[in-house]
Amino acid sequence: MIRWLLAVLGYTFFRFPGAIIGFLLGSLLDKMIGGKGKSGGGFQQVFQQQGSDTVSPADFELNLLSLASLVIKADGVVNQKELDYVRQYFVQAYGKERANATFKVFNEVIKNREISSAKICALLRTRTRYESRLQILHFLFSIANADGYVTQPEVVEINNIARYLAIQVQDFESIKAMFFKNPDSAYKILEITTTATTAEIKTAYRTMAKKYHPDKLQHMDEAYQKGAEEKFRKVQEAYEQLQKERGF
């Protein structure tokens, strides 16, 4: 009941971003009534870390939630399954209390500013590793795919975010191909063309397996490492598919 009330209020005053955060916050509050409800002092410093070569945990979580809200509303429909995916992902990654604190601060932030993917990505681009940004991209596609398919407006929004994050085109197409099944998906995942030789396929596999290896994200939380494992598995599946098709 609480989550739907917050969602309605959020939609009324802040349109889609408010509806999204209202639902997410309400969902957590429904489950946390009677708990400690600690928010953590670090969230008071949100968007204030300047002159640093890394992004603080609070900044990262809020920026990630902001990008997620843009993808969810990209096609003009706030989908229940996509909302649930984001909520579950944040709870899994940070725990209920920390996720709840992030949603609360985000709810305050959007009252006074419009979400700008360009500005958010400019911050993340200079303060996160490239492999971390690749995982952000995979996370956003996973949100869009939570209802079983990725719409074209969602692809456009994620593509814009990828460009702002300075993600290379071939890396964007590789991760995108993990969510679309077509005859050349395996080639796109490995970042090669359908005319690639056996030797080129093997080289591409080694390159992509190294790029998407879960060890690259040991510095991130468990939820992100699981996402890395999923990307790595898709690379292996693509290679095995081409092995069967090519007979090598």
The separation between the first and the last C-alpha atoms of the chain, rounded to the nearest angstrom, is 57
Q: Which residues contact 244 (CB under 8 A, 6 or more apart)?
A: none
Higher per-residue pLDDT: 36 or 53: 53
Domain 180-248 has CATH 1.10.10.10: no
Q: Where are the domains of the chain?
A: 180-248
What is the reported pLDDT for 229? 83
Q: State pLDDT tens for residues 85-139.
A: 998 888 888 888 888 888 888 877 666 667 899 999 999 998 888 988 999 999 9
Min mean pLDDT across 52-56, 183-187, 234-238 is at: 52-56
Which of the given ranges, 21-25, 108-112, 143-147, 244-248, has the highest pLDDT on average?
Answer: 143-147
**Residues of the chain by 3-state class (helix, strand, coil), percent to 5:** 75, 0, 25
What is the reported pLDDT for 36? 36
Q: Is the pLDDT confidence value at 39 over 50?
A: no
Tokens coding 193:
């063309």
Do 218 and 229 contact (CB within 8 A), yes or no? Answer: no
Do 165 and 121 contact (CB within 8 A), yes or no? Answer: yes
Residue labelled with tokens 């971003």: 17
Question: Residue 83 and residue 58: Cα distance in Å, rounded?
Answer: 20
Q: What is the mean pLDDT of residues 174-185?
A: 94
Cβ neighbour number for residue 68 with a 10 Å cutoff:
25
What confidence tier does 202 reach under pLDDT thresholds 50, 70, 90? Answer: very high
Q: Is the pLDDT confidence value at 42 over 80?
A: no
Q: Report the share of the chain in percent with pLDDT over 70.
A: 71
What is the reported pLDDT for 18? 52
What is the reported pLDDT for 244? 94
Higher per-residue pLDDT: 221 or 90: 90
Mean of the per-residue pLDDT values of the chain: 78
What Å distances lie between residue 157 and 114, 150, 166, CA to CA? 16, 11, 14
Min mean pLDDT across 17-31, 36-50, 133-147, 205-219 is at: 36-50
